[in-house]
Structure 1
Amino acid sequence: MTSPPPVDEPSPPSRPAPPASGHEPGQVPEWLRQPAEEHPVGALERLRLFWEEHTRAVTAVVGGGLVLVLLLGVGWFDLWRRAGETPRGYPTTSPPPGVSATSDTTPATPASPADNFAGTPAAAFAKGAAGITLPPARRTGAFSATEVAAALADVRAAMLLARLDRKFLAGGELDRFVRMFAPATRSSMRADFRDDSFATYATRLAPGARLTADQPRVKGRVTYRATRDSDGIRVLEITTNFVWAYAFRTLDPTPGAGVVVVHDTVVWHVPHPDDVAKAGVGLWLWEADSYASNMDCAKFDKGLLDLGAPSYGLPVDTEDPDAVFDPDRSLDVADTC
């Protein structure tokens, strides 16, 4: 068995021409041709005279104002129109073959207005460990029900530490995590944390990043089956597909402004003990992929998680913004950093 590789505007609206003034430039009104003594200049006539003498300047100002109002109106109408559009669908994936179980999506307590997840789909997710529901352990291929139960428990423990344990998130507990895996793969696991390729299956907070006291919200699915790896070794393959929502401290009151989402799919292998040497017995991390949303891109490039800079206005992409909270959304996403 080989060690797993590092897991790895539309054009602006044309401006309308300023409205015509109704007079030819330089045209002399008829009343000015009459002797002044026969037609005293009253207030109304002075206003007319002012208009004729300043027709170009006034027209430019009024016309420019109308254009500005029009452009602002078009802009607001476009925002209103886009806000009212039905969001586009998004690519989804199907559950892998095998025995599956999905999270209980009923939170322990309803989200209150003060809850950092209020107003987002994560408000309906379970809190922390309660979001990881294991399927029933059954005899599968060459693996007994007891072996399946043990493998599922090992995967769950690794997930709890890697994604939810506060000490681990803060940068500790690496040795504890690595020891959860088969001895033969521990060196490659440590290498992942040296070259920052661990983010596909584990969470480390950036220096200075501060979570709220709220437990992360969790939703996903665990599936297992008996199969063989690329070397023909019999393995129990466990696939986990989860969304992890973290609440970071922020002064922005917008719902979800402080929520960073990580969506991962991880394939874990437990080889049959009769097919490998003693050092190969245990848990292996075979494949992993993930994406994150609302995070600090520069820090995430280093494998570290922190809240991204706030953004305002509607996104250019009209995909349903709640898509990132869906465990069935495809992990094939465009890089927005």
Structure 2
Amino acid sequence: MSAGGGQDGASVSDEEWERFLRESAAGVPGAPKEPSARARDVTRRLREEPVRPEAWRSYEPARPRRFRGRHAAVLVAALALLAVALVPGLAGRATGWFGGADGTTDAVGAQAPESQRPTGPPAGQTPVRPTLAEPFRGSPAARWANGAAGITVPPARATGWMSTAQVAQALTRTRDFLAASNLDPGVLRGERPDRAIALVNPHQKDVQDYLSTAFTTSRVSDEKKDPLLLFSRFDPSRTRLVGDVIKTRGRLTFREGEHGALQVTADVTFVYPVVRAAAGSEEVARTIVRRETVLSWDDPGKVKTEAGTFSLDSYTVHMTNAGCRDTSGRLAPAFGAERSGAATGPEVDPYDRSTPMTERMKDADDAGCGTATRT
């Protein structure tokens, strides 16, 4: 209804007024009573006033504006950026307010799983020292997943001699092998990786020869027998891990291999935060190990194997801050001033997963080590 009185916005017509008078005089049941002189006077004055823009009963007093939700965030961000522009020296600290170059922070900006090879290295982080409470602080790994959750397993499909269900199982067991080789607490302390070895084809003679000798001596005389080629392990008398979280990032891919086998390639980077083993040690260092492991789940009708095991086709490792050329068969990170003297090999960003391992190894030295541009 408008301010004029009719629901359609028009005034009462002469015909309707006459009908109203006739029905009122005749006493028609339910007929409205004749409006009083005061009511008619009010009606006349309303007709003479200009029509208001508000609909009937829709008017509300103006409310003060409130900045809510994202509007408040936009205002705060705008003020912060203005401060960065006006105050020298704030630009470097602004990254700590807003997180990395992708707009996320170490605390809450968990990175999406890796589904394909990235096109470049991860954005730079605020150069801050890691602590015992935050061992991945200032590192791209702070946004990576924990443990095996950081290894992306692709959707399965029937490949070679395997059905979709068999491929799915093989992919899961491949990830289990990587976890048993590089994440198991006992293995990291130097114990024999029995769970991982149990997944390797016992009829693959060259690999079994390697596995039988890699853990029998305290010193590695032949680099081809170095247990670090496949397994991550530390010397607990020299180094201990900080907490129980290891950050990982990588993925599995697969295709049909020789003799209809399912060939799986794992390209995974592991980040280990460590301190010296001495009691009270607080300086945190990080060892970064990237592994590319290629294995085949063979057709038992064509290749001699055992159910639930695979054959190793190849394995490549690149390590930074791991004690390059150390012959102990253990990862041996350096701390503090030791690092400048221990650094060997060409510079490399250990978090850059955009470079294929074949190219990474071309740039590495003979020991497969490098000098990390960041840890």
The TM-score with structure 1 as length reference comes to 0.58
Matched, 1:133 2:152: yes
Matched, 1:327 2:353: yes
- Distance in 1 (CA, whole Å) between partners of 2:370 and 2:304 is 44
- 2:229 aligned to which of 200, 209, 212: 200
Instruction: Give the residue type in structure 1 aligned to 2:261.
Output: V
Name the SS of the counterpart of 2:261 in structure 1. Answer: strand
1:172-195 per-residue CA deviation (whole Å, 9 max, x = no partner) reads 253332212222137333334446
Name the SS of the counterpart of 1:199 in structure 2. Answer: helix
Q: Which residue does 2:183 correspond to in 1? A: 164
- Distance in 1 (CA, whole Å) between partners of 2:232 and 2:332 is 10
Contact map agreement 2:319 2:370 (CA 8 A) in 1? no
1:228-285 per-residue CA deviation (whole Å, 9 max, x = no partner) reads 1xxxx331110011110000015576xxx51110111110111112212354872122
- Distance in 2 (CA, whole Å) between partners of 1:167 and 1:190 is 18
Name the SS of the counterpart of 1:202 in structure 2. Answer: coil
- Distance in 2 (CA, whole Å) between partners of 1:142 and 1:116 is 45
Contact map agreement 2:146 2:247 (CA 8 A) in 1? yes
Aligned residues: 223
Unaligned runs of 5+ in 1: 1-99, 106-110
More relative contact order in 1 or in 2 (CA 8 Å, sep 6+)? 1
Contact map agreement 1:141 1:226 (CA 8 A) in 2? yes
Matched, 1:213 2:252: no
- 1:247 aligned to which of 273, 277, 291: 273
Instruction: Give the residue type in structure 2 aligned to 1:204.
Output: R
Deviates more, 1:176-185 or 1:130-139: 176-185
Instruction: Give the residue type in structure 1 aligned to 2:232.
Output: T
Name the SS of the counterpart of 1:248 in structure 2. Answer: strand
How much does 1:201 deviate? 2.0
Name the SS of the counterpart of 1:210 in structure 2. Answer: strand
Deviates more, 1:141-150 or 1:270-279: 270-279
How much does 1:121 deviate? 1.4
Unaligned runs of 5+ in 2: 1-113, 123-128
- Distance in 2 (CA, whole Å) between partners of 1:324 and 1:127 is 18
Identity %, equivalent residues: 25
Contact map agreement 2:130 2:138 (CA 8 A) in 1? no
- Distance in 2 (CA, whole Å) between partners of 1:296 and 1:310 is 14
CA pair 270-126 structure 1, distance change in 2 beyond 3 A: same
CA pair 280-183 structure 1, distance change in 2 beyond 3 A: farther
Q: Which residue does 2:252 correspond to in 1? A: 222
Name the SS of the counterpart of 2:186 in structure 1. Answer: helix
Instruction: Give the residue type in structure 1 aligned to 2:208.
Output: S
- Distance in 1 (CA, whole Å) between partners of 2:134 and 2:233 is 23
- Distance in 1 (CA, whole Å) between partners of 2:200 and 2:346 is 42
Name the SS of the counterpart of 1:205 in structure 2. Answer: coil
Q: Which residue does 1:190 correspond to in 2? A: 212
Matched, 1:284 2:311: yes
1:137-173 per-residue CA deviation (whole Å, 9 max, x = no partner) reads 1112332111211211111111111100101211225
- Distance in 2 (CA, whole Å) between partners of 1:234 and 1:318 is 40
* Moved segments of 4+, more than 6 Å: 315-318
Q: Which residue does 2:194 correspond to in 1? A: 175
Instruction: Give the residue type in structure 2 aligned to 1:259.
Output: R
Instruction: Give the residue type in structure 2 aligned to 1:327.
Output: R
Instruction: Give the residue type in structure 2 aligned to 1:180.
Output: L
How much does 1:327 deviate? 2.6
Q: Which residue does 1:13 correspond to in 2? A: none
- Distance in 2 (CA, whole Å) between partners of 1:128 and 1:273 is 32
Superposed, which structure 2 residues align to 1:252-263 within 5 Å? Answer: 258-263=285-290
Name the SS of the counterpart of 2:296 in structure 1. Answer: strand
Instruction: Give the residue type in structure 1 aligned to 2:212.
Output: R
Instruction: Give the residue type in structure 2 aligned to 1:198.
Output: P
Contact map agreement 1:217 1:246 (CA 8 A) in 2? yes
- Distance in 1 (CA, whole Å) between partners of 2:130 and 2:197 is 38
Instruction: Give the residue type in structure 1 aligned to 2:296.
Output: H
Q: Which residue does 2:84 correspond to in 1? A: none
How much does 1:125 deviate? 1.1
Name the SS of the counterpart of 1:122 in structure 2. Answer: helix
Q: CA RMSD in A?
A: 3.3
Instruction: Give the residue type in structure 2 aligned to 1:324.
Output: P
Structure of greater Rg: 2
- Distance in 2 (CA, whole Å) between partners of 1:182 and 1:318 is 36
Q: Which residue does 2:37 correspond to in 1? A: none
The TM-score with structure 2 as length reference comes to 0.52
1:203-227 per-residue CA deviation (whole Å, 9 max, x = no partner) reads 1112412111041110112110012
Contact map agreement 2:203 2:304 (CA 8 A) in 1? no
